[in-house]
Structure 1
Amino acid sequence: TLEYVWRPQRRGFIRNTLRAGECDLVLGVPTSLELVAATRPYYRSTYVFVYRKDAKFDVRSFDDPVLHELKIGVHLVGDDGANTPPAHALSSRGVVGNLRGYMLYGDYAQPNPPARILDAVASGEIDLAIVWGPLAGYFAPKLNVPMEIVPVTPQVDVPFLPFVYDISMGVRREDTALKAEVDSILDLRRGEVNAILDEYGVPRAGLAPRGEQP
């Protein structure tokens, strides 16, 4: 019997769900996540720039000089100020004083807390946000102003800060039979999986060859 278990995706998520026996399979985990046995990737996505279509700029790269002049929103992971990859990329280029942090997890008494950063772009509170692609692909089209969604470049910052990640499903490490079964289903129903990703607006990059995932 199929059952769904819903929990906020905060720190300790895997410990409180998969490892606690509340579920057997977790969707949407990085293929490199060592806390689980990851299936084959079922998509690869990227961080993206999000800004209004009527903006007076056209940002495509972390190296664009205009980033020094814009109000830029980035996600913060926790109260300790842990940074996401885009924040590190901007900091390494001296883009610091014009950044605004938005909590990735936020207040779960409010609907869709990670999307607050996109609301800020729509309202003009910030000029541009840099967020994980699937978040932007789903929420940006629902805003009251048209948005531009642009994959960031480069895909990997020197020496090794990737912005593109392969995404898998995760099972407990000892559940080898379940992992093999899910891998088989993902291969068999690849077209249906891709159709669902399209429906939810997930921006996708080509999957890396096996063994080359970041």
Structure 2
Amino acid sequence: MRQNTGLHRALLVSLLAIAATLVSRDICRAQTSESGDLSIELVDPKVLRVCADPRNLPFSNEKGEGFENKLAEFFAEKLQKKLDYMYFPQATGFVRMTLGSHRCDVIMGFPQGNDLAQGTNPYYRTAYALVVKQGSGLDDVATLEDGRLKGKHIGIVAGTPPATNMAVNGLMMNARPYPLMIDTRFDSSAEAMIGDLQKGEIDAAVLWGPMAGFYAKNASPALHVTPLVKETTGPKLAYRIGMGVRPADQNWKRQLNRLIQENQPAINKILLDFGVPLLDENDRPIGAETATKSP
């Protein structure tokens, strides 16, 4: 009995010693984290490792031609870090295979309200938009409720929020759907839709704002873009966009929030250069003259 008591006491002392070591390590880690040291949170604290799609203009591509590439370059310079990418097609599994697998530390464009990752403060606000040819008679159409769209062939990415608005307004009968889930290495629904608009195969296109603005700006002749912010039926079509980080990476999120706050005018300029239709909180467009305002 005495021998068993001694063994139990020795085991208890060992367990307490191990527990004390673990608690000490956790306290040290917490203190390090609270001090702002990012070595625990980031893959490599000396490198801005960005999760990105290799072929998804106007957002990103392997050549660094998208606005998210330009923003990443800008942030890397501000942070005095080397820039590196983990490229993966932005389809099912993107967050899990990139950010979630600790292969990179930030997704440059991430909508508020998406629970797959933790969002930073938003750095821009935009909306789905209607794209038409100049002089088509639809240039001043500002809502999908407008009667002039009845009977028109309208391109829409299947499964996106404005498809609901179109259905509510009886516009799906003549709509041309384009796939939502694609392999961006080989296909682009936005590019195909704009091509069909230019060829006259559809009368109008409904696209996510950054895509609408980019392709309309680069079309010849340029196309007309109207953000859909006046809808009274169906879901609202304006969204705030920030960046995505892992849920545990609190210091990293705070650092990115500071970068956004301190550099909003420069961020706005990059976005406007790519034709992104920026909106303030009252749905007013943000142009070059008001680009210093926060989203």
TM norm. shorter chain > 0.5: yes
Higher relative contact order (CA 8 A, sep 6+): 1
Moved beyond 6 Å, runs of 4+: none
For 2:114, the equivalent position in structure 1 comes to 33
CA–CA distance in structure 2, aligned partners of residues 122 and 107 of structure 1? 24
CA–CA distance in structure 2, aligned partners of residues 165 and 122 of structure 1? 27
Q: Which amino acid counterpart does residue 191 of structure 1 have in structure 2? A: P
1:67 pairs with 2:143: no
Q: 2:277 aligns with which of 184, 203, 208?
A: 203
Structure 1 spans left out of the alignment, 5+ residues = 77-82, 209-214
Task: State the aligned residue count.
Answer: 200
CA–CA distance in structure 2, aligned partners of residues 194 and 103 of structure 1? 30
CA–CA distance in structure 1, aligned partners of residues 112 and 232 of structure 2? 17
CA–CA distance in structure 1, aligned partners of residues 125 and 229 of structure 2? 15
Q: 1:192 aligns with which of 229, 250, 266?
A: 266
CA–CA distance in structure 2, aligned partners of residues 89 and 157 of structure 1? 6
For 1:7, the equivalent position in structure 2 comes to 88
Do the aligned residues in 1 keep the contact of 2:160 with 2:180 (CA within 8 Å)? no
Do the aligned residues in 1 keep the contact of 2:107 with 2:244 (CA within 8 Å)? yes
**Match runs of 1:89-100 below 5 Å:** 89-100=165-176
CA–CA distance in structure 2, aligned partners of residues 123 and 170 of structure 1? 37
Deviation at 1:45, TM superposition (A): 0.3
Deviation at 1:148, TM superposition (A): 0.5
CA–CA distance in structure 2, aligned partners of residues 115 and 96 of structure 1? 21
Do the aligned residues in 2 keep the contact of 1:156 with 1:164 (CA within 8 Å)? no
CA–CA distance in structure 1, aligned partners of residues 84 and 149 of structure 2? 45
Q: Which has the higher helix share?
A: 2
Q: 1:16 aligns with which of 87, 92, 97?
A: 97
CA–CA distance in structure 2, aligned partners of residues 57 and 18 of structure 1? 42
1:118 pairs with 2:194: yes
Structure 2 spans left out of the alignment, 5+ residues = 1-46, 48-82, 283-295
CA–CA distance in structure 2, aligned partners of residues 19 and 114 of structure 1? 28
CA–CA distance in structure 1, aligned partners of residues 195 and 180 of structure 2? 13
Q: State the Cα deviation string for residues 82-139 of structure 1 (Å, max 9, x = none).
A: x111111010122221111012343535364432111111111100001111001112
RMSD after superposition: 1.8
Q: State the Cα deviation string for residues 34-86 of structure 1 (Å, max 9, x = none).
A: 1111100000001110010031333211111122221000002xxxxxx1111
Q: 1:174 aligns with which of 237, 241, 248?
A: 248
Do the aligned residues in 2 keep the contact of 1:155 with 1:164 (CA within 8 Å)? no
CA–CA distance in structure 1, aligned partners of residues 201 and 249 of structure 2? 47
Please, what TM-score do these two structures have when normalized by structure 2?
A: 0.64
Q: Which amino acid counterpart does residue 14 of structure 1 have in structure 2? A: V
CA–CA distance in structure 1, aligned partners of residues 179 and 262 of structure 2? 38
Q: State the Cα deviation string for residues 142-191 of structure 1 (Å, max 9, x = none).
A: 22332110111425635xx1200000001000001100111011111112
Please, what TM-score do these two structures have when normalized by structure 1?
A: 0.87
CA–CA distance in structure 1, aligned partners of residues 172 and 214 of structure 2? 28
CA–CA distance in structure 1, aligned partners of residues 205 and 230 of structure 2? 17
